[in-house]
């Protein structure tokens, strides 16, 4: 995939926020004891639109190689969620719960990665707030 830095940053941001949203969606359905509707999960996994200014801001913080690594790792996790919660996946309920619980750990790991390469602070932009994301996923080691 040959992307410029801004597109790479946009993909990374979309992916991390999609993972967060998918984790919340899955936990909500698991709490109700209901299956996650595949169409709703698929829509959530697409992620929200990221503005060009947010992507540019993020691309100025994280270099292209690190953006590619970040995006690749998160996209693998998104694919694992998609596969695990597909109605015909054969994944047991306890395993689905474990996978859903791991979303917090994954988000925290990626925020630590981002913080490390941004002078030990989480970047902030009007279109994205990594501090809010860290709080939502109980990333105490990041805050």
pLDDT digits (tens, 9 = 90+) for 2-21: 578 899 999 999 999 999 99
Q: Looking at residues 87-105, what average pLDDT do you find?
A: 93
Q: What is the dihedral of CA 67, 108, 37, 82, to 10 degrees?
A: 50
59 touches 8 (CB < 8 A): yes
Predicted confidence at residue 2, as pLDDT, reads: 52
**pLDDT(1) > 50:** no
Tokens representing residue 93 in the block: 């309920």
106 touches 77 (CB < 8 A): yes
Cβ neighbours of residue 59 closer than 8 Å, sequence gap 6 or more: 5, 6, 8, 9, 67
Question: b or e along 100-120 (b: 16 or more beta carbons within 10 Å of the residue's beta carbon)?
Answer: beebbebbbbbbebbbeebee
**3 state SS of 130:** helix
d(CA 111, CA 84) in angstroms, rounded, equals 24
Q: For the chain, what percent of residues have pLDDT higher than 90? A: 86
Q: Where does residue 51 fall: left (phi above 0), alpha (psi -120 to 50 degrees), or beta otherwise?
A: beta
Predicted confidence at residue 130, as pLDDT, reads: 95
Residue 125, beta-bridge partner list: 128
**3 state SS of 28:** helix
């Amino acid at each position: 995939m040959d992307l410029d830095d801004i597109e790479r940053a946009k993909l990374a941001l979309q992916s991390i926020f999609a993972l967060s949203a998918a984790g919340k969606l899955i936990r909500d359905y698991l709490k109700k004891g209901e299956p996650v509707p595949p169409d709703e999960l698929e829509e959530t996994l697409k992620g929200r639109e990221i503005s060009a200014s947010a992507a540019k801001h993020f691309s100025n913080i994280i270099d292209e190689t690190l953006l590619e690594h970040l995006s690749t790792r998160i996209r693998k996790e998104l694919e694992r969620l998609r596969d695990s919660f597909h109605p015909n996946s054969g994944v047991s309920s306890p395993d689905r719960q474990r996978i859903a619980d791991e979303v917090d750990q994954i988000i925290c790991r990626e925020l630590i990665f981002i913080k490390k390469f941004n002078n030990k602070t989480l970047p902030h932009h009007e279109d994205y707030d990594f501090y809010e994301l860290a709080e939502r996923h109980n990333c105490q080691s990041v805050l």
